[in-house]
Amino acid sequence: MANTAQARKRARQALTARARNTSQHSHLRTAVKAVRKAVEAGDKAAAQKLFQDSMSVIDRIADKNVVHKNTAARYKSRLSAAIKAMGTAA
């Protein structure tokens, strides 16, 4: 348990930051899942539209260091590859 006023304040701040980061991480997963769902449905136009929207979400969350920049790049790369693969399969 925190004994000093400074440590108590940092503990409060950590709880707030953790709640914020958890929410943003959930938002990221939802955005990625929406693109994957459109890809599985075979709707390339919708997948591309959702991909553009999710790109901004991914970049924004990576800029805030909720996820590492390389993790964000990997998400974007894999989603992009999945959309491109739709064109060759169709």
The pTM assigned to this predicted structure is 0.82
61 has pLDDT over 90: yes
Structure tokens at 73: 């790049």
The three-state (H, E, C) secondary structure of 34-82, written as one string: HHHHHHHHCCHHHHHHHHHHHHHHHHHHHHCCCCCHHHHHHHHHHHHHH
Kindly indicate whether the domain formed by 5-89 is annotated with CATH number 3.10.150.10.
Answer: no
* Confidence tier at 2 by pLDDT (50, 70, 90): confident
Domain ranges of the chain: 5-89
The answer to whether the CB of 61 falls within 8 A of the CB of 24 is yes
89 has pLDDT over 70: no
